[in-house]
Amino acid sequence: MPVISHPHGFTEDSLYVDLRPIVGQGLFLKCEGFNFAGSIKLKAAAEMVDSAERDGVLLPGSIIVESSSGNLGVALSMIAASKGYRFLCVTDSRCSPTTRRLMEALGAQVHVIDEADPAGGLVQARIDFVRALCASDDRYVWLNQYSNPGNVRAHYRTTAPAIAREFPRLSVVFIGAGTTGTLMGCARYFRTWHPLVRVVAVDSVGSVTFGGPPGRRMIPGLGMGVRPPLLDEAYVDDVVLVEEADTIRACWRLARAGYLFGGSTGTVVSGAVRWLARHGSGREIAVAIAPDLGERYLETVYHNDWVEARYGPDALAATPDETRPERVGAGLPSSA
């Protein structure tokens, strides 16, 4: 029986869903939402806070500040409450009302950015606000998930080894690309210890991470308006870009089978199913990472009016992902 003394002392790291009966492809989904923060971001948050404390950056009286679309903000809210720090989350209008209220319930202050930077979008506008805040008051400590090595280290030490232990004959792993902390931590681990494993990054159409043109993105979690400093494309074998309408379809498809997952998971599953349909032999051992669960998306991804207003009624059509238009790269984009 686990007994913990702080909320970040527990995480379920060994739960997988066999998706073959749902998606028709051999794919195991690693569920990362079963902890008190509700997402994989707890790992990065704990590693970054612990490192800042060890390095003497976080001191009594410090105020943690971070730019987040939601899940990291919740994880840091929880850790800050446990450790006695104040926390300010700088988010934007895409963050769901449920997530904002959750952070506030944990004692965090939430600042919402509504106006995007002309070049770097809402993420750059959030970063600019954080930088200005830190320059104005030295009590603020920015952990900076976008370039903090702890964001990568957390997954090199935990997520990737956990997958390797459960699937010693793993062929391919599908990982969503946001800050690319999870992607780089896992990719570096597999390149070092299991070099035959293919690492496929899954990103949203409209993200500039892998050199694509910027575009509208309404679902938080994956995708960036600026290139992630942590990214090293040399560790990535392939990239799949997923339309947000296909993210919606994948989420609803899983929900109709009884699994309520978050938007990032819908993107990763949609990309993985399409990649396997076109490039797989049917004999692969394939794992995809599900960053969170779906309760925080009830007012967005799982709300008919919200979906239809942004993507049209076709987004709710029960169309198998593998029949959607081709958006799988045959290797990295030429700009890589």
Q: In what order do the strands lie in the sheet with 172-176?
A: 16-18, 28-31, 286-290, 172-176, 198-204, 238-242
> Which residue, 145, 176, 155, is CA-closest to 263?
176
Contact (Cβ atoms closer than 8 angstroms) between residue 82 and residue 8: yes
User: Do the bridges between strand 28-31 and strand 109-113 make them parallel or antiparallel, or are there none, so unpaired?
Assistant: unpaired
Separation CA 63–CA 32 (nearest Å)? 28
Separation CA 237–CA 239 (nearest Å)? 7
Q: Does the active-site annotation cover 41?
A: yes
Indicate which residue of 30, 41, 67, 96 is catalytic: 41
As beta bridge partners, residue 200 has: 174, 238
Separation CA 303–CA 316 (nearest Å)? 10
> Which residue, 155, 144, 127, is CA-closest to 42?
155
Q: Does the active-site annotation cover 43?
A: no
> Which residue, 32, 43, 96, is CA-closest to 70?
96
Q: Cβ neighbours of residue 47 under 8 Å, at least 6 residues apart?
A: 150, 151, 153, 154, 157
| Tally of CA atoms within 13 A in the half-sphere of 21 that contains its CB | 6
Known catalytic residues? 41, 264
